Chain A
Amino acid sequence: MRIGQFFSLKKGRVGQYLSPRVLVVRTPFRQSAGEKCYLGFKRLTEAQKFAQYLAVMGHTFQLRRGQMLPQNYEICLQGNSGLARQLAYWDRADNRSMGDSHDET
């Protein structure tokens, strides 16, 4: 996984990891497809807690087992790349402050 670099996914999709737990998937030449953000969680309880906040904020999302990300669970958000960028910013900041020994969740 290389943070920031674009990589190809199937069906014309392009992925970009914004942090080890945040993946943005775009479909560049299909406007209607929009973009999706995937947020990874190691534990279900963590994902559920985060999902509660998402619901309170009125976001539409899907919680499922990890498919796009290496974490055990992931939340898929339609659009909201601004939120994904914010989450990734703080995730990267945490990873930096904890050094290379950080245990990726």
Chain B
Amino acid sequence: MMKLRLTQYPGAIAQAAQAVNEIDSQIAEIRQRLARLEGNADLIVAFETALKNDNQRKARRYQVLQQDATYEQMLDHLNNLSTQKANALAQLERLRNEFTVAKLEVQLAIAQKLASSETRELVGL
């Protein structure tokens, strides 16, 4: 990956943070839609008074959710988004660390420059 100049890091870090936020908002949206579907399944289960025990209720809930083709797709999408978020966070962390290293390198270069000029002054050059 191409190394950035020191001045480019703040922009790149902001961009990476924004990417994380966008994925977060997509995750929140998917979770909301999933909660809606699950709430609907819970309603159907609660309406079926013929279901006698928790196992029957769980099986019915699963059955109801499986019947909705979008449920499985949404779960897959949520998994993908979770992976994307982890990668985006790793990228953000990497940029932050690179920025820190780049700053330290500049500080080191300045210190070395100062040290060498002081040495030259000491020997009368």
Contacts and interface: CB of A to CB of B under 8 A. Distances in A.
Contacts of B40: 57, 83, 86
Contacts of A53: 39, 42-43, 46
B43 A57 contact: yes
Contacts of A91: 47-48
A56 B39 contact: yes
Given A46-B49, A105-B49, A90 B43 contact: no
B1 interface: no
A87 B50 contact: no
A21 B50 CA distance: 12
A41 B42 contact: no
Interface of B: 36, 39-40, 42-44, 46-50, 60, 64
Interface of A: 21, 39, 41-43, 46, 49-50, 52-54, 56-57, 83, 86-87, 90-91, 94, 98, 102, 105
